[in-house]
Amino acid sequence: MGFRLSHLSLVVSLVALALAGVAIYRNTYEAIIMNNGSPDFDFLETGAVSILTLNNEKINSDKDNLSQQLTQESCVFSAVKGVVDSAIDNETRVGASLIRLHFHDCFVDGCDGGILLDDINGTFTGEQTSPPNNNSVRGFEVIAQAKQSVIDTCPNISVSCADILAIAARDSLAKLGGQTYTVALGRSDGTAANFTGALTQLPAPSDNLTVQIQKFSDKNFTVREMVALAGAHTVGFARCATVCVSTNVNPAAQLQCNCSATLTDSDLQQLDTTPAVFDKDYYDNLNNNQGIMFSDQVLTGNTTTADFVTTYSNNVSVFLEDFAAAMIKMGNLPTSAGAQLEIRDVCSRVNPTSVASM
């Protein structure tokens, strides 16, 4: 499984050991007084030194373990960042795609890498072909490359695909101009996916405000956090197949729909005026009634949500801070109770020993 830094456990262990040393010292002192009438200070001093030596050895050992864990984490973060930065340099759009991929993973039954599992004809249906994801979510090849990079450059370190998704989203945000944040490792990968859950749990472009608030509340997000996370639409594009459905778009934006009959990705609609930069333009557009998606523009239709839109439009620093905090919270969404978990060797399929349980 993945590893976590356990600073609190370290402190508790050292305090407990110190208290134990004090207790031994006191008991020894009392025993000598009872037997001899006076303490043997040479003996007590030797005992105290021994206890301090043990404490120092424990501290040094814990420091070594902590240093090793930090080195391992640094290796993982560096390996993933290198792949993500290179991918975004090659195609800026993929940065937004990786943020969205992480969101679509965590919002369905927690951060378990379920969205990464490929369908197996006649055997397994995953989340990728569910309507909100089908021919829409992307960036899978970047996650696969990042996983391989960790395997190649960080030997003897086992990191889940869900962790790699979380790191990739954070690094994409930073690369596009957003505020970075700390990603804690230790997630596990699921051995199953939820086709129906992707359809019912994920926010949709046609969702009204009441539906959106309920979906986010179901995941324990506040309305403010919901409005902040909606700001992910300050980067990236919508597909032709989305913007050519009238119920999905804001009619005031007066989009020109040039979709082909097959509704392919040949035409893309940028989601705000600066789709390659993580900024506050998304909220500026909403305040001007120029949000692209119906679900975006309705954020201005309620006093509470409209106030948050205005706050973020007026102060980009507040938006970036709130978005980073909401991403941390989203990245910690727990997996479903009773889910079978593992650390996948390959992100697109469960480990061979798990196949029978699917």
Q: Is 329 a domain residue?
A: yes
187 domain-assigned: yes
Give pLDDT tens digits for 247-256.
999 999 888 7
Q: Is residue 284 part of a domain?
A: yes
Q: Which residue positions form the known binding site? A: 105, 108, 110, 112, 127, 203, 233-234, 272, 274, 279
**Any domain includes 325:** yes
- pLDDT at position 60 is 56
DSSP secondary structure, 84-95, as one string: HHHHHHH-THHH
Plot region of 20 (φ>0 → left; ψ -120 to 50 → alpha; else → beta): alpha
Mapped onto helix, strand or coil, the DSSP state of residue 83 is helix
Residue 99 lies in a domain: yes
- pLDDT digits over 130-150, tens only? 999 998 999 999 999 999 999
- Average pLDDT score over residue span 5-9: 41
pLDDT of residue 63: 53
CA–centroid distance for 355 within its chain: 26
User: What is the C-alpha to C-alpha distance for residues 317 and 286, in angstroms, rounded to an integer?
Assistant: 18
Is pLDDT at 116 greater than 90 in this prediction? yes
Is there a domain that residue 27 lies in?
A: no
DSSP code at position 1? -
User: Do the domain assignments include residue 32?
Assistant: no
How far apart are the C-alpha atoms of 1 and 189, rounded to whole Å? 9
Give pLDDT, residue 155.
Answer: 85
Residue positions forming the annotated binding site for substrate? 203
Binding residues for heme b: 233
Stated pTM of the model: 0.80
pLDDT in tens, 189-235: 999 999 999 999 999 999 999 999 999 999 999 999 999 999 999 99
DSSP-derived secondary structure letter, 238? E
How distant, in Å, are the alpha carbons of 245, 255, 258 from that of 242?
6, 12, 12
Residues 232/280, Cβ–Cβ less than 8 Å: no
Catalytic residue selected from 100, 102, 104, 147: 104
The answer on pLDDT for 313 being more than 80 is yes
Compute the average pLDDT of residues 52-63: 56
Question: Binding-site residues for Ca(2+), please?
Answer: 105, 108, 110, 112, 127, 234, 272, 274, 279
DSSP string, 157-205: ----HHHHHHHHHHHHHHHTT-----------EES---HHHHHHHS--T
- Predicted confidence at residue 291, as pLDDT, reads 95
Confidence of residue 21 (pLDDT cuts 50, 70, 90): very low
- Placement of tokens 């993933």 in the chain: 80
What does the pLDDT read at residue 29? 40
Look up 7 and say whether it is catalytic.
no
Which residue, 194, 265, 203, is CA-closest to 236? 265
Q: What is the pLDDT of residues 275-292, one digit of tens each?
A: 999 999 999 999 999 999
For residue 266, tell me if it sits in a domain: yes
Domains in the chain: how many in total?
1
Question: Residue 70 — pLDDT band, cuts 50, 70, 90?
Answer: low
Cα–Cα distance, 20 to 298 (Å, whole number): 61
| CATH value at residue 163 | 1.10.520.10
The domain of 117 spans: 72-352
